[in-house]
Amino acid sequence: MPQDFRSADFLREHINTTMKFYHPNCIDQQGGFYQFFNDDGHVYDKHTRHLVSSTRFVFNYAMAHIDQPNECYFEQIVRGIAYLEDIHKQSNGGYAWLIEHGVAKDTTNHCYGLAFVLLANAVALKAGLNSALTTIERVWQLLEEKYFLPEHKLYLDEYDGAFHNADPYRGQNANMHMCEALLMCFEATNNNKFLTRAYDLAYTMTVEKAALANGLVWEHYNANWQIDWNYNKDDPKHLFRPWGFQPGHQTEWTKLLLILHRHKSEPWMVSTAKSLFDSALEHAWDKEHGGICYGFAPDNSVCDGDKYFWVQAESFSAAALLALETGENKYWQWYDKIWQYSWEHMIDHTHGAWYRILTQDNRAYSDEKSPAGKTDYHTMGACYEVLRAYTLKEQA
């Protein structure tokens, strides 16, 4: 029986079945959440904790509680925030990137990590955890003092564990997720400083910096925010900093621009969102095997044909938001097409949740469904965003 991927009931049911893969299996009674799962849900590493997963589990539980209030979910929000503050947070105010057996193993201070600390606390605040506001303000001040570069209107990427030395690398990914976090902070607090900063990040990356790369968002820059075309060129499959244009990041920016547009409406946001999405799908859609490939080179050839779960999820969310904003049916066609591919190849209909990564011809690399960093924050978050867009459209 064909699925109605546009149905709110379908989206909510998909969220629920995805959540069941993790809950309550992910809960570590000693604190925090398990972060490494095989396809069948078996936890294959109980002792390693990554800041990205620790924050994203808070997001998952907070979004679930907001959508369908549940005391057990709220308890996990509280536990998750406590783990961030008691275990990840260091005496200098930073948050350890990696925890092993309850002890900080990697204390590198990533802006990307702080973006997710902000996001977790913002959505926790939305869910009713009022104490999260204090952390939001503290992390904002840390970012102002250490990371924000006012002359560029962007954030630098990382410091060492002691905040003594900043890495000269500059990247769009941390700034994109900081934009996402700041939009959530604005919605949670109604404080315009968060919206103003989110606007600056979005305009700088998707208009000013994109103008240096044929209208697309390049990933890597030097200390002066000039494009570094060769960074990781010999490692296009690098997990956090791959070479090439990332179609998933073009469509993720599409989504963020349209969320920004709700709060501060300017015409460039919609036109830029359309351009990023259209280019990404033109160059990265796999006409033979289906799905969106992971990366394409400056000459528009595919440089990484793998299929990642988050790329598909962010892209169907962006397609729906574009369809609702523009009224153009081609975006609904893309939405259905991306969902159909994902339904057939990326989603585990036996155990739940999405497979993390497939080869270009849709074969599994391993039975590791959800290593640290995944948590299906992208997939459930994409569904929630489409549902929210529906609600806002009805209210308009």
Asked if 65 and 73 touch (Cβ cutoff 8 Å), the reply is: yes
**pLDDT exceeds 90 at position 211:** yes
Q: What band does 237 get if pLDDT is binned at 50, 70 and 90?
A: confident
**pLDDT exceeds 90 at position 238:** no
- Give the whole-angstrom CA distance, residue 241 versus residue 169: 11
Residue with tokens 């570094």: 228
- Give the whole-angstrom CA distance, residue 266 versus residue 68: 33
The pLDDT value given to residue 396: 77
Domains of the chain, by residue range, sit at 8-395
Question: What six digits make up the tokens of 140?
Answer: 């904002």
Question: What six digits make up the tokens of 260?
Answer: 């920004």
**Statement: the pTM of the whole predicted model exceeds 0.85:** yes
Asked if 169 and 220 touch (Cβ cutoff 8 Å), the reply is: yes
The pLDDT value given to residue 235: 86
Segment (H or E) for 217: none
The pLDDT value given to residue 218: 98
**pLDDT exceeds 70 at position 1:** no
- Give the whole-angstrom CA distance, residue 156 versus residue 187: 24
Selection from 236, 330, 204, 327 nearest residue 277 by Cα: 330
Share of the chain above pLDDT 90, in %: 98
Provide the mean pLDDT of the chain.
97
- Give the whole-angstrom CA distance, residue 198 versus residue 178: 8
Give 95's DSSP letter.
B
The pLDDT value given to residue 201: 99
Segment (H or E) for 357: strand 357-358
CATH topology (fold) of 8-395: Glycosyltransferase (1.50.10)
Among all residues, which ones are annotated catalytic?
Answer: 249, 378
Average pLDDT over residues 300-322: 98
The pLDDT value given to residue 323: 98
**pLDDT exceeds 80 at position 32:** yes
The pLDDT tens digits for 336-395 are 999 999 999 999 999 999 999 999 999 999 999 999 999 999 999 999 999 999 999 999
The pLDDT value given to residue 315: 99
Question: What six digits make up the tokens of 185?
Answer: 């902070």
The pLDDT value given to residue 149: 98
The pLDDT value given to residue 239: 78
Which of 81-95, 236-250, 266-280 shows the lowest mean pLDDT across its residues? Answer: 236-250
**pLDDT exceeds 90 at position 236:** no
Average pLDDT over residues 239-247: 92
